Amino acid sequence: MSLQVENLTVYYQTLRGEVHSLEHANFNLGDGEIMGLAGESGCGKTTLGNSLIYLAPPMKFIEGQVALDGEELPVWDIERMNEFRFKKISIIPQYAMNAMNPTRKIGKMISELLQSRKINYKELLSVIKERLDKVKLPHDVLNMYPIELSGGMKQRIVMVLSTLLNPSLLIADEITSALDVSTQKSVAEMIVKFRDCGCMKSVIFITHDVSILYQIADSIMIMYAGQLSEKASKETIIHSPLHPYTKLLISSLPKVGVKHSEKKLTGIPGTPPLLLNPPVGCRFRDRCPLAFEKCLETPPFVEIEQGHFLACWKEGAPYA
Amino acid sequence: MTARSQKHEMLFFALRNTKLRVGVSILLFFILLTIIGPQLTPYEPNDFVTSGAFPPSSEFWLGTTTFGEDVFTQVVYGLRATFIVGIVGGGLGMLIGLLIGFTAGYWGGIVDETLNMLTNIILVIPTLAVLLIIAAYLKVRGILTESLFIGFTCWPWVARAVRAQTFSLRVRDFVDMARISGMKSYKIIFSEIAPNMMSYLLLVFILQFGGAILTAATLDFIGLGPTNTISLGLMMNMAVLWSALILGSWWWFIPPGLAITAIVGALYITNVGLDEVFNPKLREM
Amino acid sequence: MGRYFRRKLLIYLLTFFVAVTLDWCIPRFMPGNPIDILISRAGLRGSAVQTMYDYYTRVFGLDQPIWKQYLNFWASLFKGDLGISIYLFPTPVSKVIAGAVPYDLFLLIPSTLLSWIIGNNFGAFAARSKQLDNTLLPFSYILSATPYMWLGIILAWAFCIVFRIFPLAGGYSFAMKPNLSFAFIGSLLSHWVLPFLSLFIVQLGGWAIGMRNMIIYELESDYSHYLKTLGSPNRLIRKYAFNNAILPQITGLALKLGEVVAGALATEVVFAYPGIGYLILQAIHNEDYFLLQGCFLFIIIGVLAANFIIDIVYLLVDPRMRAGMQGETA
Does the beta carbon of C249 lie under 8 angstroms from any beta carbon of chain A?
A: no
- CA A294 to CA C101: how far, in whole Å? 88
Among A56-65, A112-121, A287-296, C2-11, the minimum mean pLDDT is found in C2-11
The CATH number for B160's domain is: 1.10.3720.10
Q: How many domains does chain B have?
A: 1
Chain C 282-321, residues with CB within 8 Å of chain A CB atoms: 318-320
Beta-carbon neighbour count of residue B232 at 10 Å? 31
* Res A16 pLDDT > 80: no
CB A164 within 8 A of CB A142: no
Beta-carbon neighbour count of residue A269 at 10 Å? 9
* Res B66 pLDDT > 90: no
Task: Provide the percentage of residues in chain A whose pLDDT is more than 90.
Answer: 49
Give, in order, the Cα–Cα distances in Å from C102 to each of C171, C177, C188, C265, C274.
Answer: 11, 17, 12, 14, 9
User: What ipTM is given for this predicted complex?
Assistant: 0.90
Say if the Cβ atoms of C236 and A103 lie within 8 Å. no
> Number of residue pairs across A and B with CB atoms under 8 Å?
5
Residues of B in contact with A13 (CB under 8 A): 285
Partner residue facing C153 (CB), from B126, B257, B268: B257
> Is A304 strand, coil or helix?
strand
Longest dimension (CA), chain A: 64
Nearest one of B220, B194, B269 to B84, comparing CA atoms: B220
User: Starting at the edge strand that comes first in sequence, how are the strands of the sheet with A89-92 ordered?
Assistant: A89-92, A169-173, A202-207, A34-38, A219-224, A227-233, A308-310, A302-305
Give, in order, the Cα–Cα distances in Å from B50 to each of B60, B69, C329.
Answer: 10, 7, 76
Does the beta carbon of B1 lie under 8 angstroms from any beta carbon of chain A?
A: no
pLDDT band (50, 70, 90) for residue C45 = low
Beta-carbon neighbour count of residue A70 at 10 Å? 8
Paired sense of beta strands A34-38 and A202-207, if any: parallel
- CA B36 to CA B32: how far, in whole Å? 6
Paired sense of beta strands A308-310 and A302-305, if any: antiparallel
> Is A91 strand, coil or helix?
strand
Residue type, A74: P
Q: How far is B269 from chain C (nearest CA, A)?
A: 7
> Residue C91 — φ and ψ, nearest 5°?
-70, 135
* Res C192 pLDDT > 80: yes
Among B120-124, C102-106, C150-154, the minimum mean pLDDT is found in B120-124
Give, in order, the Cα–Cα distances in Å from B194 to each of B162, B203, C276.
Answer: 9, 14, 43
Interval C141-166: pLDDT, tens: 888 899 989 999 999 998 888 888 88
Domain ranges of chain A: 3-81+171-176+202-310
Does the beta carbon of C323 lie under 8 angstroms from any beta carbon of chain A?
A: yes
Q: Which of A13-22, B140-149, C114-123 has the highest mean pLDDT?
A: C114-123
CB B269 within 8 A of CB C141: yes
Q: Is B4 a domain residue?
A: no
CB C186 within 8 A of CB C224: no
> Residue C316 — φ and ψ, nearest 5°?
-75, -35
The residues of A whose Cβ lies within 8 A of any Cβ of C are 53-54, 56, 81-87, 90-91, 93, 95-96, 98-105, 112-113, 116-117, 144-145, 147-148, 158, 161-162
DSSP string, A233-263: EHHHHHHS--SHHHHHHHHT--STT----GG
Chain B 224-283, residues with CB within 8 Å of chain A CB atoms: 283
Q: What mean pLDDT is predicted for residues C81-104?
A: 83
* Helix, strand, coil percentages for chain B (3-state, nearest 5): 75, 0, 20
- CA A164 to CA A200: how far, in whole Å? 9
Interval B177-220: pLDDT, tens: 888 888 888 888 888 888 888 888 888 999 999 999 999 999 89
Q: Regarding predicted confidence, which is higher, C203 or C6?
A: C203
- CA A1 to CA A8: how far, in whole Å? 17
Q: Regarding predicted confidence, which is higher, B176 or A145?
A: A145
> Is C278 strand, coil or helix?
helix
Nearest one of B209, B210, B235 to B221, comparing CA atoms: B235
- CA A158 to CA C225: how far, in whole Å? 13
Burial zone of A206 (CB within 10 Å; 0-12 exposed, 13-18 middle, 19+ buried): buried
Does the beta carbon of B187 lie under 8 angstroms from any beta carbon of chain A?
A: no
Longest dimension (CA), chain C: 85
Residues of A in contact with B285 (CB under 8 A): 13, 15, 57-58
Say if the Cβ atoms of A58 and B283 lie within 8 Å. no
- CA B232 to CA A172: how far, in whole Å? 63
User: Starting at the edge strand that comes first in sequence, how are the strands of the sheet with A17-29 ordered?
Assistant: A17-29, A3-14, A59-68, A71-72
Beta-carbon neighbour count of residue A16 at 10 Å? 9
Q: Is B1 a domain residue?
A: no
Q: Where are the beta strands (DSSP E) in chain A?
A: 3-14, 17-29, 34-38, 59-68, 71-72, 89-92, 169-173, 202-207, 219-224, 227-233, 302-305, 308-310
Name the β-bridge partners of A5. A27, A66
Nearest one of A141, B137, A78 to C225, comparing CA atoms: A78
* Res B233 pLDDT > 60: yes
Interval C273-302: pLDDT, tens: 999 988 888 887 777 777 888 888 888 888
> Is B116 strand, coil or helix?
helix
The count of C-alpha atoms lying within 13 angstroms of the C-alpha of A225, restricted to the half-sphere facing its C-beta, is: 21
* Res A262 pLDDT > 70: no
pLDDT band (50, 70, 90) for residue B285 = very low
* Res C3 pLDDT > 70: yes
**Which of the listed CATH numbers 1.10.3720.10, 3.40.390.10, 1.25.40.10, 1.10.10.10 matches domain C93-329?**
1.10.3720.10
Task: Provide the percentage of residues in chain C whose pLDDT is more than 70.
Answer: 87
- CA A31 to CA C126: how far, in whole Å? 46
Contacts of A78 (CB under 8 A, 6+ apart): A54, A55, A56
The helix-helix angle for B71-84 and B250-278 (nearest 10°) equals 30
Name the β-bridge partners of A172. A92, A205
* Res C46 pLDDT > 80: no
Among A139-148, C57-66, C103-112, C243-252, the minimum mean pLDDT is found in C57-66
Q: What mean pLDDT is predicted for residues B90-94?
A: 94
* Residue range of the domain that includes B252: 10-282
- CA B35 to CA C147: how far, in whole Å? 24
Q: What mean pLDDT is predicted for residues A41-46?
A: 85
Domain ranges of chain C: 93-329
Partner residue facing C270 (CB), from B134, B240, B268: B240
Q: Residue B4's pLDDT is what?
A: 60
pLDDT band (50, 70, 90) for residue A266 = very low
* Res C326 pLDDT > 80: no
Q: Residue B3's pLDDT is what?
A: 56
Q: What mean pLDDT is predicted for residues C104-127?
A: 92
Interval A187-215: pLDDT, tens: 889 999 999 998 899 999 999 888 888 88
- CA C136 to CA C127: how far, in whole Å? 10
**Which of the listed CATH numbers 1.20.1300.10, 2.60.40.10, 3.40.50.300, 3.40.1280.10 matches domain A3-81+171-176+202-310?**
3.40.50.300
The conformational region for residue A244 under phi > 0 = left, psi -120 to 50 = alpha, else beta, is alpha
Say if the Cβ atoms of C229 and A91 lie within 8 Å. yes
- CA C100 to CA C278: how far, in whole Å? 9
Q: Which chains touch A (3 or more CB pairs under 8 A)?
A: B, C
Task: Provide the percentage of residues in chain B whose pLDDT is more than 90.
Answer: 32
Residue type, C266: A
Contacts of A128 (CB under 8 A, 6+ apart): A110, A142, A160, A164
pLDDT band (50, 70, 90) for residue B256 = very high
State yes or no: cis peptide before B255, omega within 30 of 0.
no
Mean pLDDT, chain B, integer = 86
Residues of C in contact with B265 (CB under 8 A): 141-142, 145-146
CB A40 within 8 A of CB A25: no
Q: Residue B190's pLDDT is what?
A: 81
Partner residue facing A99 (CB), from C226, C235, C319: C226
- CA B155 to CA C44: how far, in whole Å? 41
Between vectors from CA B73 to CA B71 and to CA B74, what angle results, nearest 5°? 65
Q: DSSP label at B225?
A: S
> Is A19 strand, coil or helix?
strand
Residues of C in contact with B223 (CB under 8 A): 281, 284-285
* Res C329 pLDDT > 70: no
- CA A27 to CA A228: how far, in whole Å? 9
State yes or no: cis peptide before C90, omega within 30 of 0.
yes
- CA C89 to CA C291: how far, in whole Å? 11
